[in-house]
């Protein structure tokens, strides 16, 4: 196994071993007339999670982008167990 592959494997193992939990308040502008979050807002909520986990790792995303390391989204899949509702955390 090449050095880069070993490094990538170690990084993946480290990342998969981290748990993080972030509560995101539902804003009035995120919901429809039934006070349920519109489906497209969940991607914004994922950004809160991304910032939370990178902070936990002491990883500066802005510095990495300056150094040419970016985080493109290739695929998003969401399974809705329950709706997020305005006024409820």
Q: Which residues contact 22 (CB under 8 A, 6 or more apart)?
A: 48, 49, 52
Rounded CA-CA distance 80/89 in Å is: 16
Q: What is the pTM of this model?
A: 0.65
The H-assigned helical ranges of the chain are 3-16, 42-56, 61-66
For residue 79, pLDDT over 80 is answered with yes
pLDDT band at 29 (very low <50, low <70, confident <90, very high): very high
For residue 60, pLDDT over 70 is answered with yes
Least trusted range by pLDDT, from 9-13, 22-26, 38-42, 85-89: 85-89
Give me the pLDDT at residue 88, please. Answer: 67
Give me the pLDDT at residue 31, please. Answer: 92
């Amino acid at each position: 196994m090449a050095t880069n592959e070993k490094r990538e494997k170690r990084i993946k193992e480290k990342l998969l071993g981290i748990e993080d939990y972030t509560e995101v308040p539902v804003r009035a502008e995120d919901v429809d007339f039934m006070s349920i979050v519109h489906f497209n807002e969940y991607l914004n909520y994922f950004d809160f999670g991304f910032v939370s986990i990178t902070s936990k790792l002491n990883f500066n995303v802005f510095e990495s982008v300056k150094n040419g390391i970016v985080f493109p989204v290739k695929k998003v899949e969401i399974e809705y167990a329950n709706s997020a509702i305005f006024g409820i955390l």
